[in-house]
Chains A and B, each alone.
Chain A
Amino acid sequence: MSESEREFTIKSYIDYLSEKKLMSSKCKDCGASYVPVRKLCTKCNSVNMEWVEMSGKGKIAAFTSITVGTPFFVEKGYGRTKPYCFSVIKLDEGPMISGQLIGVDESKPDTINIGMQVKATFIETEIRGETRVDLGFEPV
């Protein structure tokens, strides 16, 4: 299937992530871009979308270092002595997106700053025989 043919669904967006591509749906009428994907442009009510790959570059808008994690992250080995970072990233193209922040000192959150430049990375986790790919970010 060519890129322009993929449906504007969550499945397509996640399929792209597993191909290590951060894709937006961009409104051909007003230019608004959506990450994660949306089929309906809520700025102008259009359904005239196209897939556009994002640069993956952005800045930290907000973040936290978590010691009491979700079961998924506990399974990944994180916890009290090994915290992980959850972040909201403002992409250079405009939209914001959530991702795990890696390549930082999670146990010293004071060393991580809002506004810090980051780039997208695709985090692979082997879980019960399956590989899943999640969006993450790391400092540039």
Chain B
Amino acid sequence: MGKLARKVAMIGAGMSTFGAHFPHKRIPDLWVDAWLDAVSRVDNGIEPKDVDACYVGNYSSDLFNHQGHLGPQMANLVGLTPKPAGRFEGACASSGIALRQAILAIASGVHDVIAVSGVECMTELPTTGVTDVLATASDSLFEYPAGATFPGLYATLASAHFNKYGTTVEDLMRVAIKNHENGKENPYAQMQRSISDFMASKIAKIEKSGGEVPDWKDEFDYLKSSSNPIIASPLRLFDCSLITDGAACVFLAAEDVVKNYTDTPIWIAGTGQGSAALALHDREDLTSFIASKEAARQAYEMSGFKPKDIQVAEVHDCFTIAEVVALEDLGFYEKGKAVEAIKNGETKRDGSLPINTSGGLKSKGHPVGATGAAFCVEVFKQMRGIAERNRQVKFDVERMLAHNLGGSGATCVVTIFEK
């Protein structure tokens, strides 16, 4: 495993608010919001003339919005024409791939500063349409005709994990409860509400309508009720990430020029990328992701860090089960043991390994192509100590990891950051 030929740092990061923005905001609007937010976080300022190239991660603007060729379109909106601009695709890991390619391009010496971004506008289609578009990230020849949806594929993986390790629906619920607690503290998140907030407002609604008030003792009772319908067993509504419109943007710079922009850069310590068969039936193991393990292996090796050195992580919780599996694949916990750590509160904001302080895809939202870049925004904020509201972890974060999984796990990008 090689090292980067020269060091690369993150000098600024920002995002649009995540939500159901269509038709008030479309891809160009969201992207410019993210750009401006990122520009505002570069200490000494940054201008289009400073940026050498524009990398855009996007999964499927073609099918969601009948628009391809986003690279030059986005570049033009912020005054980057005629610089190189291009789009990267790897399902939900699209902007993770863009990030990695930008790191490699800067390390190679070709470019000094790159704007890496991601954008997706999903709510232009109704849920069945979104389900259909997302399904093209799985095997459309042999999984799709058998009825596979995205929630369905992760539910299938969950069934195998339940069967092998005794994982339960309550274990998954704890992931959703935690991530909503975090998302409540993120002003950019789509659902800024805890699950107990949802439960309380449901009770209030029923009381108002004079109905019979349910005797839910806690969030678990609520999550097991018909208010949280099954989407694909064992996964329910609150096990699924959201359908979201949003964009995120990150500025990367070479060590040679970092000083022009900031005195407190966040360095890329390691990057890794892995792949797997597209179809679940072509994989050996249905309880872990080989692409994640490979990407993690490369990133750890490049950085010289071990899983225990990572203090905070953003992991790809497109479904609650995916967070559990990620914690195992990244080497934080042994196979089958992550749920115990989650139960002990280790992954909460005040735990020993805070996970998804942003609210995760569950509560912050998941505009698929923007997610990899959005992870970097939370990394930037946590490592700078500027996370909003009550979300900042209570210690100085020296090392953080971002894990970005594509589709049902066929692509993975892992990035390790250090101060």
Are the chains A and B members of one assembly?
A: yes
Give residues in A with beta carbon < 8 Å to B: 10, 36, 61-74, 78, 80, 83-89, 95-100, 109, 114-115, 134-136
Specify which of B142, B231, B280 is in contact with A67 (CB 8 Å cutoff). B231
Chain A residues near B135: list those with CB within 8 A: 70
Residue ranges of B at the interface with A (Cβ–Cβ < 8 Å) = 127-128, 131-132, 135, 139, 141-149, 151-153, 155-160, 163, 229-235, 279-283, 286
Residues of A within 8 A of B131 (CB): 68-71
Q: Are A63 and B159 in contact, with the CB atoms below 8 A?
A: yes
Nearest chain B CB to A75's CB is how many angstroms away?
10
For A78, the chain B residues whose CB sits under 8 A away are 147
Q: A10, A71, A78, A115: which has the most chain B beta carbons within 10 Å?
A: A71
User: Is A100 in contact with B141, judged by CB distance below 8 angstroms?
Assistant: no
CB atoms of A61 and B145 under 8 A apart: no
A25 and B155 CA atoms in complex are apart in Å by 29
5 closest A-B pairs by beta carbon, nearest first, are: A64-B155, A96-B281, A62-B160, A109-B233, A98-B146
Which residues of the partner chain B approach A83 to less than 8 Å between Cβ atoms?
230, 233
- Per the bound structure, the CA–CA distance linking A87 and B156 in Å amounts to 7
Closest B residue, CB atoms, query A80: B229
Residue of A nearest to B235 (CB): A64
- Determine the chain B residues whose CB is within 8 A of the CB of A68 once the complex forms: 127, 131, 149, 151, 231-232
Report the number of A-B residue pairs with Cβ-Cβ less than 8 Å: 113
Whole-angstrom distance between the Cβ of B141 and the nearest chain A Cβ: 6
B159 in complex: contacting residue of A70, A96, A114, CB < 8 Å: A114
Question: Is B147 a contact of A73 with CB atoms below 8 Å?
Answer: yes
- Is the CB–CB distance between B232 and A98 below 8 Å? no
| Given A61-B160, A62-B156, A114-B159: A67 and B147 interface contact (C-beta under 8 Å) | no
Say whether B156 contacts A100, CB under 8 Å.
no
B163 to chain A, nearest CB (A): 4
Chain A residue at minimum C-beta to C-beta distance from B148 = A86
Residues in A whose Cβ lies below 8 Å from that of B155: 64, 66
Provide a sorted-by-A list of 23 A–B residue pairs whose CB atoms are within 8 angstroms.
A62-B286, A64-B156, A65-B233, A66-B152, A66-B231, A68-B231, A70-B149, A71-B131, A71-B132, A72-B144, A72-B145, A72-B147, A85-B147, A88-B156, A89-B281, A96-B281, A96-B282, A97-B281, A98-B148, A98-B281, A100-B146, A100-B147, A134-B145
**With A70-B149, A97-B281 as given contacts, are A64 and B233 in contact (CB-CB < 8 Å)?**
yes
Q: Which residue of A lies closest to B127 (CB)?
A: A68
Q: Identify A88's interface contact among B127, B149, B158, B281, CB under 8 A.
A: B281
Do A66 and B157 touch (CB < 8 A)? no
CB closest chain-A residue, reference B141: A10
In the bound complex, do residue A98 and residue B132 qualify as a contact, i.e. CB atoms below 8 Å apart?
no
In the complex, what residues of B have CB within 8 A of residue A64's CB? 152, 155-156, 158-159, 232-235
A109–B235 alpha-carbon span in the complex (Å) = 12
Known: A64-B152, A66-B155. 20 other contacts (CB 8 A): A62-B286, A63-B159, A65-B233, A66-B233, A67-B232, A69-B131, A70-B132, A70-B147, A71-B132, A72-B147, A86-B149, A86-B152, A88-B156, A88-B281, A96-B283, A98-B139, A98-B146, A109-B233, A114-B159, A114-B163
Contact partners of A109 in chain B: CB under 8 A:
233-234
Chain A residue at minimum C-beta to C-beta distance from B286: A62
Residue contact B149 to A63, C-beta cutoff 8 Å: no
Q: Is the CB of B232 within 8 A of A65?
A: yes
Residues of B within 8 A of A74 (CB): 128
Give the chain A neighbours of B148 by CB distance below 8 A: 70, 86, 98
Report A-chain residues with C-beta under 8 Å of the C-beta of B229: 67, 80
Q: How far is the CA of A62 from the CA of B155 in the complex (A)?
A: 9
Using A67-B230, A70-B149, A109-B234 as known contacts, say yes or no to A62 and B280 having CB atoms under 8 A apart. Answer: yes
Q: Decide if B142 touches A98 in the complex (CB within 8 Å).
A: yes
Q: Kindly list chain A residues whose C-beta atoms are within 8 Å of the C-beta of B235.
A: 64
Q: How far is the CA of A95 from the CA of B283 in the complex (A)?
A: 10
Residue of A nearest to B135 (CB): A70
Interchain CA distance A98-B280 in the complex, whole Å = 8
Would you give the shortest CB distance from A85 to chain B, in whole angstroms? 8
Distance from B131 Cβ to chain A, minimum over Cβ atoms (Å): 6
Query: Which residues on A sit within 8 Å (CB–CB) of B132?
Result: 70-71
Report the minimal beta-carbon distance from B165 to chain A, rounded to whole angstroms.
12
